[in-house]
Amino acid sequence: MNANARQVATYLQKSKCTVILTGAGMSTESGIPDFRSENGLWHGRDPMTIATPEALETDYETFFNFYLARLEALDEASPHKGHQILAKWEENGFTHHVATQNVDGFHRQAGQQHISELHGSIQAIRCHDCNMKASDEKFRSKGACSACGGRLRPDIVLFGEMLPQQEWERSIEMISEAELVLVIGTSLQVAPVSQLPNLTPGQKVWINQEAPEREEWFDLTIQGKAGEILTEIDQMLSQPES
Ligand code: APR
């Protein structure tokens, strides 16, 4: 793995435009489950009965309980060393944009400035019916929208909903210019984000606990925990090139 970490460090030193694409595997070392691993959030649950506008409208109780539990889990969690390293790399000019599917806000909390939250933010609450913003407390106490009496929800992208236009366009713009893309902790199962790696002319590196479905899509794959791998690469970055 050292050799691969050294190779990624070399890529990072050479690349003039590096984009990081992250998924839920970036937050499991903070104690937040991902979706499709053994003990993931979709294990034993059908996401179509929870994470869709129809589910919200027909079974608000299940929708509400699922997202309340996720918010409460985040009360006890914080970004880990991997998030901090990505923010440091941005500050040091090694990376230029983070496109994340994660709604936990950990990249921002760790100090990442150039970021697109492609699936929104679970901490931002709005009315499902009139879009009016509402407080986290109002949602947690199962309150209704103060403007129209509608149902409150996190401002995240549910299956079947559009991604935030500006975030999406910015991510496409950056990845189309990228010389290097690190794909970290995502199964790439969900469109349209799953298509982003195909848009880059640059080197593609897969960092994940499991091997990619399509190994040939990537110039390099490193299997293991994101936090540990990013730490190893970071150590290589601070060593003089051998
Ligand atoms: N280090 C590296 N990889 C990890 C780690 C870790 N510590 N923990 C989990 N992984 C990997 C898993 O092996 C898996 O390949 O991260 C990936 C997580 O994949 P998913 O659970 O499918 O999460 P993600 O790809 O982010 O899902 C995309 O699906 O349900 C929707 O909106 C939701 O944004 C989410 C989208």
pLDDT band at 239 (very low <50, low <70, confident <90, very high): confident
Would residue 119 show up in a list of annotated catalytic residues for this protein?
yes
Q: Please name the helix (run of DSSP H) or strand (run of DSSP E) that holds residue 110, with its range, or none.
A: none
Q: Same structural domain for residues 128 and 220? A: no
pLDDT at 100 > cutoff 70: yes
Q: How many domains does the chain have?
A: 2
**pLDDT of the residue at 2:** 76
> How much is the average pLDDT of 72-92?
98
Q: Same structural domain for residues 51 and 38? A: yes
User: In CATH, what number is assigned to the domain containing residue 132?
Assistant: 3.30.1600.10
Q: Same structural domain for residues 101 and 114? A: yes
Q: Same structural domain for residues 208 and 233? A: yes
Summarised one tens digit per residue, pLDDT across range 123-163 is: 999 999 999 999 999 999 999 999 999 999 999 999 999 99
Q: Same structural domain for residues 151 and 235? A: no
Each as own residue / partner, the long-range contacts of residues 164-172 (CB below 8 Å, 24 or more positions apart, any chain) are 164/117, 164/118, 164/120, 167/99, 167/116, 167/117, 167/118, 168/116, 168/118, 168/192, 170/97, 170/116, 171/19, 171/97, 171/99, 171/116, 171/118, 171/196, 172/196, 172/199
**Distance in Å, CA 237 to ligand 1 centroid:** 26
How many other C-beta atoms are found inside a 10 Å radius of the C-beta of residue 161?
A: 13
Catalytic residue (choose from 96, 97, 119, 128): 119
**pLDDT of the residue at 242:** 52
Q: Same structural domain for residues 230 and 185? A: yes
Q: What percent of the chain has pLDDT over 70?
A: 98
Can you give the residue range of the structural domain that contains 25?
Answer: 1-32+79-119+164-242
Q: Same structural domain for residues 104 and 194? A: yes
Summarised one tens digit per residue, pLDDT across range 189-226 is: 999 999 999 999 999 999 999 999 989 999 999 999 99
pLDDT at 233 > cutoff 70: yes
Q: Which residues line ligand 1 (CB under 6 A)?
A: 23-25, 28-29, 34-37, 40, 47, 101, 119, 185-187, 189-190, 208-210, 225-226
Nearest to 19 by CA among 111, 91, 114, 125: 114
Question: Residue of the nearest CA to atom 23 in ligand 1?
Answer: 24
Q: Same structural domain for residues 26 and 143? A: no
**CB-CB contact of 205 with 181 (8 Å):** yes
